[in-house]
Amino acid sequence: MKVKKIGVVSLSSGILGEDLAAHQVEIGKKRLNDMGIEVKFMENSLKGLDYLDKNPSKRAEDLLNAFKDDSIDMILCAIGGEDTYRLLPYLFKNDELKNVVSQKIFLGFSDTTVNHLMLHKLGIKTFYGQAFLTEVAEIDNEMLPYSKSYFKELVKTGTISEIRPSDIWYDERTDFSKMAVGTKRPSHKNNGYELLQGSGKFSGEILGGCIDTIYQIISEDFKEAFDLANKYNLFPSAKDWKNKILLLETSENKPDPKLYRKMIKTLKSTGIFDEVNGVIIGKPQDEKYYEEYKQILVEEIDSNLSILYNFNVGHALPRCIVPFGVPCEVDFDNQVIRFNNEK
């Protein structure tokens, strides 16, 4: 299937509607139009930070309407944020999402992890790893080539066939202003996937996302998020993780090693590492705590569970796109993850 129309939603942060992002909105819209794709910004997606913070129901309404609109082939998240869990009552209290959901392409990352888990709960396959502002509206003269290759594959075919490492990685920007349009990011050589332990070959369907966000819904330190996630059974049970592959990546907050260990320990307490077939870890943004995270993972996941590290997804650029809910095979020796889209 070829994507003809994209619906853009702001399910978390409302920054898409702020004046400081106006130049990126135009850049992203033009890039999609140049690909032959029509863009629909859902009704509330451009209403800004304050409005969407105060009106989570309106964010939920946009998601429901994007699923209801048969002309929309793909739902693309504007960016992440920190509180999309607040949409839960407006999507699940009366089966609102269940009643309209269908198998459309849904793409987002970061806080959008929660939305992926919502859709997983309803049996919908989704795609993790990119967003409108961070990829399509990149302020360099073009989308970053590695990221663009996966985005184009998805909009042209509706699938991702395989993922290989990027040859380079980029520093995060400190300036996203109009004055910075056309400037390039500093880049560095990337060293491919690392196998921290276990077998280099493992298989299963991938599920997971940003560990900071997952921690928010499984830790009692975040009472509102934890209580809502529990009420609507958002985080899959240990049984639901059986034979899956867990994907984890860290946010732009670059959690320090002490917090990272706490997050991994909390995940471990759910029994998840006893059920999954392997773990894939995204490259940390700017490679901050790169070695420290490796050590913590091996120390805390104290079995011979396969751990693949330095995967190009999440908050470190460039980013691939990861299909959730599609059988795949990880082949470390050949540095590739292949997806069986026929099953």
How many helices, marked H, and strands, marked E, lie in the chain? 11, 16
Sign of the dihedral defined by the CA atoms of residues 184, 187, 192, 196, in that order? negative
Single-letter residue type at 318: P
Q: Is the pLDDT of residue 343 over 60?
A: no
Average of per-residue pLDDT across 278-302:
97
Confidence of residue 302 (pLDDT cuts 50, 70, 90): confident
The CATH classification number of 168-339 equals: 3.50.30.60
**CA–CA separation, 166 and 131 (whole Å):** 18
Check residue 25 and give its pLDDT.
Answer: 98
Check residue 32 and give its pLDDT.
Answer: 98
CB 42 within 8 A of CB 16: no
Q: Residue 156's closest CA among 38, 40, 30, 3?
A: 3
Place of tokens 């700017």: 286
DSSP string, 270-296: TTGGGT-SEEEEEPPGGGTTHHHHHHH
Q: Is the pLDDT of residue 1 over 80?
A: no
Check residue 53 and give its pLDDT.
Answer: 98
Q: Which tens digit of pLDDT belongs to each residue from 164-207? A: 999 999 999 999 999 999 999 999 999 999 999 999 999 999 99
Residue 157: both structure tokens together = 């075919």
**CA–CA separation, 298 and 294 (whole Å):** 6
Residue 68: both structure tokens together = 């209801």
Domain spans in the chain, listed from the N-terminal domain onward: 5-162, 168-339
Check residue 112 and give its pLDDT.
Answer: 98
Percent share of the chain, pLDDT over 90: 98
Check residue 179 and give its pLDDT.
Answer: 95
Domain 5-162 has CATH 3.40.50.10740: yes
Exposure string of 133-167, with b = 16+ CB inside 10 Å and e = fewer, is: bbbbbbbeeebbebbbebbebbbeebbbeebebbe
Average of per-residue pLDDT across 226-254:
97
Place of tokens 């989308």: 143
Q: Which tens digit of pLDDT belongs to each residue from 30-70? A: 999 999 999 999 999 999 999 999 999 999 999 999 999 99
Confidence of residue 341 (pLDDT cuts 50, 70, 90): confident
Confidence of residue 140 (pLDDT cuts 50, 70, 90): very high
Check residue 58 and give its pLDDT.
Answer: 98
According to DSSP, the residues that pair with 168 across neighbouring strands are 189
Summary mean pLDDT of the chain = 97
Q: Which tens digit of pLDDT belongs to each residue from 82-135? A: 999 999 999 999 999 999 999 999 999 999 999 999 999 999 999 999 999 999
Predicted TM-score of the model (pTM): 0.98
